[in-house]
Amino acid sequence: MKKTLGFLFVFSALIQSQNIWQQSKGPYTLGGYIQCETIDLNGNLFVGTIDSGIYYSTNLGNEWSASRLSGNSINSISSSPNGYVYSTTGQLVFRSTDQGLNWIEITNGLPATYLNQVTCSSQDLVFLATSEGLFRTIDFGTNWERIDSGFSDTNIKGVLYCNNGDVYSYTNWSIYRSTDDGSSWTNLNGLPYGKVTDITSDEVNNLFLTTGDTVSVFYGYRSLDQGATWEEFGPTCPLLFHFIEVSPEGDLYIQDQYGIYRSTDLGESWSQISSLTESNCLSFYSNAILFAGSLTGVRRSTNSGIDWSVVGLPKDYPRILSLATNSTGIVFAGGKGNYPEIYKTTNQGQEWFKIDTTFDGTIISNLDLDENGNLFAGSYGGGINFSTDFGATWVQRNSGLTDLHITALKTIINGEAFVGTSNGGIFRTTDYGINWVAINQGLTVMRIEDIAMASSGNIYIGTTDGVFGSSDQGLNWIHLNNGWAQYRQVISIAVNSQEHIFAENSGYGIFRSTDLGNSWIQVSTEIWSPIMDIFINSLDTIFAAAANGVFRSTNNGDDWTLFNSGLAEFNDANVLIADNDGKLIAGTESGGVCWTSDPTTSVDKGNNLNSSYTLFQNYPNPFNPLTKIEYHVASLNYVSLKVYDILGNEIADLVNGEIPAGKYEIKFDARNLPSGIYIYRIVAGKYQETKKMILLK
């Protein structure tokens, strides 16, 4: 035993220097989702988050402190010359007199309405734009008075205070100007077409206006005469930008879908200066130093927006309990942060985006993608939610489920999927979750921990009473417990290409069966329970995420080596999968999502599921009306290659027969088919793979 431990420590030191695992840039919990920001006269930076209140930094973002206004969604924040800071949530307004450390509510006398924006003036007046009118306070929020007399619309979107003392207030279709701190107003006529989305000014009181619809900004305008006349920005100004800000020296900045653009001539000409996307707001410490708030924290630039570095917020990661990926490289991560959350990345974790969810339950326990790109999400307490557009929209599909605590999930093909539950057994659907049917015949317990599918079609499940197997799509189950220890809860189960079964026997390590579960032997002595996940890649390499780290076996479980550098040493990895490049992905307890630096399989763009063949993504995709499908066969094999529509109807039979080893390319003619999503599936021996293709006309 001493020799084994010594080898493990030596091996651990060796792979540590090789840096096996790399932490991705997230996902962060909603504490890192920045909605608004401001810099006070002392240079302190305040940011408002969507769900975790306000953070502040006194040293340009190098260090951050959480204010005591936690657990709130902050939609507006503003600082005044006397050092006070004001912020709004949905229906409450707060004030801090100690640089954001403590806050008091000052909603005194305001109607129960939505607070759109708070704005401080140079005279310590504070204006509050609400959905039920415009308000002003002259005593720091002790009292509020309504000042929108003569406005045609009382849904006030925002307020702008200029250096010359002019105040501008805007609604969807109108802008009003006041020269007496809001006591009286003049309606500015001749506005550009479209809804007013924002207004700002430079140091010499030139006005800059954006208009658009309810989603995006379409046009930008400037006024050099206090809003009497307006002219559109120059022709190089992008459309569909999100906001406009002005630097202390008068440069204009906008954020569009491709990056950040700047104009140094009042909007007449524009140039892209950065590829940074997804910023929600900008604020300026100086003309050179500026901060961008985004969905993933705060970034800082020290060269006028050209280069950016992440400076916060504190890395607050959710527990990642489930992962799913597809052949195009999209990765979904689900777990538990402030509430059940799902995140998506398309660039191996360089950027993460939170998917909007309104799920019931406490955690996202399971995620899986089927061959058509449909996404199933199982939550603990909320059942199954289903998306056909990669999480953009969701429908709940719980019909037939008697237990909404989802513990296991596995999709197959053509709408078929299986879910395991905490106390209701296992359920099956053949129509993408529209209807679920209990399939518990032969089970002795109703808690399902994990589901594994063999290429033969056999199904194996881990339960609180060991392993059960089914050869008829779950209609009947057989208890496979020969050789098990007395206590036999199985948290994780996996099957390799030879249908050797590997199951975690809680408290006793990993057991292996090479005869379809009829007999078992223990194959891990150095791996400690609990083993949270067992994953087997396309080369039949086995990975186990256990209490003492991630381990790897390349010889069917006979020997194991530590595969852990870059991850926490104890009980950090919860779930393992491989991406389309063959790199291993780990969802962790407290460190987000990590990738291995190098692939763990010798895959190429075809995303091999088995070394005997490779199926490539069709090209071009989308296509009209011809596309090419390429596949490679490593040895003589019986190959079937068919095309199906989104409902599973067979459209074309491209290959059906014994194919010699070689590289093959097929042209698929779809000129007689309607536009839409189609799939093509290759079956080579007992292995199969499916890819999605899009036809546009």
- Burial class of residue 486, CB neighbours in 10 A (0-12, 13-18, 19+): exposed
Closest alpha carbon to 390 in 368, 414, 373: 373
Tokens of 62: 């190098």
Q: Name residue 169's beta-bridge partners.
A: 159, 176
User: Do 415 and 431 touch, CB atoms closer than 8 A?
Assistant: yes
Could you give the CA distance from residue 75 to residue 66 in angstroms, rounded to a whole number? 17
User: Do 351 and 394 touch, CB atoms closer than 8 A?
Assistant: no
Length of the chain: 697
Residues 6+ apart with CB under 8 A from 317: 26, 27, 28, 29, 337, 588, 590, 591, 592
* Structure-model confidence comparison of residues 639 and 38, the more confident one: 38
pTM given for the model: 0.54
User: Do 94 and 105 touch, CB atoms closer than 8 A?
Assistant: yes
Widest Cα–Cα separation across the chain: 88
Q: Name residue 93's beta-bridge partners.
A: 88
CA angle, residues 512, 589, 30, in degrees to nearest 5: 145
Could you give the CA distance from residue 60 to residue 37 in angstroms, rounded to a whole number? 13
Tokens of 654: 């491209």
For residue 631, is it within any domain?
yes
Give yes or no for a cis peptide into 235 (omega within 30° of 0).
Answer: no
Q: What is the DSSP string of 480-491?
A: E-TT--SS---S
Please report which confidence band the pLDDT of residue 151 belongs to, taking 50, 70 and 90 as the band edges.
very high
Summarize pLDDT for 314-323 with one digit per residue, the tens: 556 788 999 9
Residues 6+ apart with CB under 8 A from 493: 449, 450, 451, 452, 460, 461, 462, 467, 501, 502, 503, 504, 534
Residues 6+ apart with CB under 8 A from 406: 365, 366, 378, 379, 380, 383, 384, 419, 420, 421, 422
- 236-246 burial code (b ≥16 CB/10 A, e <16): ebbeebbbbbb
The yes-or-no verdict on residue 492 having pLDDT over 70 is yes
Could you give the CA distance from residue 587 to residue 440 in angstroms, rounded to a whole number? 30
- Residue reference for tokens 């306070």: 137
For residue 363, is it within any domain?
no
Could you give the CA distance from residue 115 to residue 86 in angstroms, rounded to a whole number? 12
Number of CB atoms found within 10 A of residue 478's CB: 14
CA distances from 678 to 65, 433, 505, 664, 675 (A): 51, 20, 41, 20, 9
Could you give the CA distance from residue 480 to residue 518 in angstroms, rounded to a whole number? 6
Percentage, residues of the chain above pLDDT 90: 54
The pLDDT of residue 686: 60
User: Do 695 and 675 touch, CB atoms closer than 8 A?
Assistant: yes
Could you give the CA distance from residue 502 to residue 521 in angstroms, rounded to a whole number? 10
The pLDDT of residue 624: 82
Summarize pLDDT for 550-580 with one digit per residue, the tens: 999 999 999 999 998 888 765 579 999 998 8
CA angle, residues 546, 548, 549, in degrees to nearest 5: 65
Summarize pLDDT for 365-399 with one digit per residue, the tens: 999 988 778 999 999 999 999 999 888 889 999 99
Please report which confidence band the pLDDT of residue 251 belongs to, taking 50, 70 and 90 as the band edges.
very high
Tokens of 280: 């929600």
The yes-or-no verdict on residue 200 having pLDDT over 90 is yes
> Which range has the worst mean pLDDT, 271-280, 459-468, 674-683?
674-683
Over range 58-83, report the average pLDDT.
Answer: 86
Tokens of 406: 């989802």
- Residue reference for tokens 């256990």: 546
* Sign of the alpha-carbon torsion through 139, 140, 146, 151: positive
Over range 606-623, report the average pLDDT.
Answer: 65
CA distances from 502 to 61, 257, 534 (A): 48, 46, 8
For residue 641, is it within any domain?
yes
- Burial class of residue 150, CB neighbours in 10 A (0-12, 13-18, 19+): exposed
The yes-or-no verdict on residue 530 having pLDDT over 90 is no
Q: Name residue 665's beta-bridge partners.
A: 630
Instruction: Provide the domain limits for residue 631.
Output: 613-695
The pLDDT of residue 612: 59
Own/partner pairs, 57-66, CB within 8 angstroms, 24+ separation: 57/311, 57/312, 58/99, 60/285, 60/289, 60/300, 60/311, 61/291, 61/298, 61/300, 61/311, 61/312, 62/311, 64/312, 64/313, 64/314, 65/101, 66/314
For residue 463, is it within any domain?
no
Q: What is the DSSP string of 76-137?
A: EEEE-TTS-EEEE-SS-EEEESSTTSS-EE--TT--S--EEEEEE-TTS-EEEEETTEEEEE
CA distances from 434 to 225, 346, 417, 431, 473 (A): 61, 29, 11, 6, 18
For residue 210, is it within any domain?
no
For residue 617, is it within any domain?
yes
* Structure-model confidence comparison of residues 93 and 678, the more confident one: 93
Could you give the CA distance from residue 470 to residue 463 in angstroms, rounded to a whole number? 14
Pairing of strands 448-453, 104-105: unpaired
The pLDDT of residue 337: 61
Mean pLDDT of all residues in the chain?
87
Could you give the CA distance from residue 625 to residue 671 in angstroms, rounded to a whole number? 5
Own/partner pairs, 583-589, CB within 8 angstroms, 24+ separation: 583/348, 584/535, 584/537, 584/543, 585/323, 585/325, 585/331, 586/21, 586/545, 586/550, 587/320, 587/321, 587/322, 587/323, 587/333, 587/335, 588/317, 588/320, 589/319, 589/320
The pLDDT of residue 258: 84
Please report which confidence band the pLDDT of residue 475 belongs to, taking 50, 70 and 90 as the band edges.
very high
The pLDDT of residue 339: 63
Could you give the CA distance from residue 60 to residue 43 in angstroms, rounded to a whole number? 8
Count CA within 13 A, CB hemisphere, residue 488.
Answer: 21
Number of structural domains found in the chain = 1
Helix (H) / strand (E) element for 528: namely: none
Residue type, 605: K
User: Residue 11: phi, psi to the nearest 5?
Assistant: -65, -40
For residue 672, is it within any domain?
yes
Tokens of 485: 């220890």
- Residue reference for tokens 């929108």: 148
For residue 677, is it within any domain?
yes
Please report which confidence band the pLDDT of residue 31 belongs to, taking 50, 70 and 90 as the band edges.
low
Q: What is the CATH number of the domain that holds 657?
A: 2.60.40.1930
Give yes or no for a cis peptide into 340 (omega within 30° of 0).
Answer: no
Could you give the CA distance from residue 44 to residue 83 in angstroms, rounded to a whole number? 10
